[in-house]
Structure formats: C-alpha cells, structure tokens
Amino acid sequence: MYFRQIFLIACLSSLVASLGFSLYQWYLVNPIIFAAELYELAQPLDLAISEHALEQTEPWAPDDGLERSLYTLLANFLMCLAYSLLLSCAMVFRGTSSTLKGLAWGIAAYLSVFVAPGLGLPPEIPGMQAADLDQRQNWWLLTVSLTGVGLAVIAFSPRYYKGAGLILMLLPHLIGAPTSALHGFSHPDPQAVATLTELWHQFILQTSIANALLWFIIGSSTGFLCHRFIDPVPPLQPTKLTKA
C-alpha cells in the first residue's frame, strides 16, 4: 500500500519537477555546457587524444539536438523520480506530512545533495581538469550521506545530541575533497581560459538556482501529495481485526 502510493506520488511530483527543471536547464544551463564543449573540442590534438580517449573508440552518444535533449529530459525525469522516492520515504517514515514540511525536507535535501558537496567539489563544466573520478564520487557520496544524517540529527534528536549532527556535517570537509594537481582548465590559450572561467562562474550560479528550483518543486509537491494521499490512509490494526 505504502509502496504503491509512494511510487505514484513520486511519479507525479517528478513529472512536474523535471518539467520545471528541464525548462530552466534548457534556457540557462545547457547553453553554458554547449559553449564550454566548443572549447573542449578545440583543444590541441595531443591534449585531446589522451589515454582515456584512445582506450575507448567512439562510444555511443546521443546526437546533438533533439535526440540529446530527449535523453536529458529522460535522465532529468528519472533523477527527479529517484529524489522524490527518497524524500517521500523519509517524510512518511517520520510521520504526517504537509506542503510546508515537504518544503523543509526539500531545503534540507538541497543543502545535503547540492550545497554541501558543492563546497568541496563545485559544479564543473566540460573540459575542466579534476581529480580521479572514483575518489570524487566516493567523497560526494560520503558528504551527501553525512550531511543528510547530520541534518536529521540536528532536526530530530534531543538537544544534547545536536552537536554530533554538526560534527557529522563538518567531517567530510575536514577530510577534504579530492583535488588534483592540475585543477582548472588545460586550454593553452589564456584568452580561452579567461572565457572558460567566466563560463564556469556563470555555471555555478545557474546550477545553484536550477537545483534550488528542483528541490523547491520536489519538496513542496511530495509534501502536498503525501499529505493528500498517504496521511488519510488509516493505519491497519491487525490485533483488532483478528479479534473481530
């Protein structure tokens, strides 16, 4: 019962959220990615053909234009579905829900999934040099989980445990995000590097707004839908039923 309701709620909420997010992304985020890719492709041959590129000969990728946009739309929807599933599970686990509670959950999720990992690993545009992918993914997962748990501890535990939540949130930043010696842009032209840096700053600003919008919609809509469709469900009481 709960599973079905939550899945349907997540579908509805992610439809709305992915539509809003995709529109914002299409007009204000994607142009920055495309602009950065032009520089990525224009890199000199010896830089462009790294070992990485030699190992993998032309893997499939959606064609630019409509096909690429459709795949992005699908990926946005699936990502929103996953986020919405996780958020509504957490909310239902904690008890009743409302639009406002959902919004609070959404803000907490924005802090733990976007802001906290972004402090160590800022959003990146294509063509940036960065540390080893596995290390960055591990640090991302660690930061997101610890910040999420930390915020939950601060919000729900008795007062004398709240400090532990703060420590949990700080821990990944004390460990430090993986960095590479060559962070930045490897493009040889200083003019291009200046343009790319400007694009990167724009990108950080726009993704911050886009993700805030994403979590605003996911949070408030799952809160509203959980309140509407899960709270009214009377809890089953097997002991009474078996007696009858």
Partner 1 sequence: MNTHNPATLEQSVPVDTTKNVQLIAATALGIIILFGVGFAPMDIAHNAAHDTRHSVAFPCH
Round to whole Å and give the CA distance between 141 and 136.
9
164 vs 216, which CB is nearer to partner 1?
216
Positions in 180-239 near partner 1 (CB under 8 A): 207, 210-211, 214, 233-238
Q: Which stretch binds partner 1 (CB under 8 A): 83-91, 95-103, 157-165, 166-174?
A: 83-91
Q: Which residues pair with 128 in a beta bridge?
A: 185
Q: Show the tokens assigned to 212.
A: 């805030």
158 vs 235, which CB is nearer to partner 1?
235
Q: What single DSSP character describes residue 26?
A: I
Q: Which of 39, 43, 92, 220 binds partner 1 (CB under 8 A)?
A: 92
Q: Which stretch binds partner 1 (CB under 8 A): 89-97, 149-157, 190-198, 220-228?
A: 89-97
Q: Which of 45, 60, 176, 191 binds partner 1 (CB under 8 A)?
A: 60
Q: Which of 133, 159, 190, 191 binds partner 1 (CB under 8 A)?
A: 133
Interface with partner 1: number of residues (CB under 8 A): 63
Q: Which of 11, 12, 33, 107 binds partner 1 (CB under 8 A)?
A: 33
Q: Which of 15, 130, 149, 154 binds partner 1 (CB under 8 A)?
A: 130
Round to whole Å and give the CA distance between 62 and 71.
7
For 58-126, give the DSSP string: ----PPTTHHHHHHHHHHHHHHHHHHHHHHHHHHHHHS---HHHHHHHHHHHHIIIIIHHHHHS----T
Element (H, E) at 185: strand 184-185
27-31 contacts, C-beta under 8 A, 24 or more apart: 28/206, 28/209, 28/210, 29/203, 29/206, 29/207, 29/210, 30/72
160 vs 234, which CB is nearer to partner 1?
234
Round to whole Å and give the CA distance between 69 and 77.
12
Task: Judge whether 109 and 40 are in contact, CB under 8 Å.
Answer: no
Judged by the rule CB under 8 A, the positions of this chain that interact with partner 1 are 1-3, 6-7, 10, 21, 25, 29-30, 33, 56, 59-62, 68, 71-72, 74-76, 78-79, 81-86, 88-89, 92-93, 113-114, 117-118, 121-126, 128, 130, 133, 136-137, 140, 207, 210-211, 214, 233-238, 241-242, 244
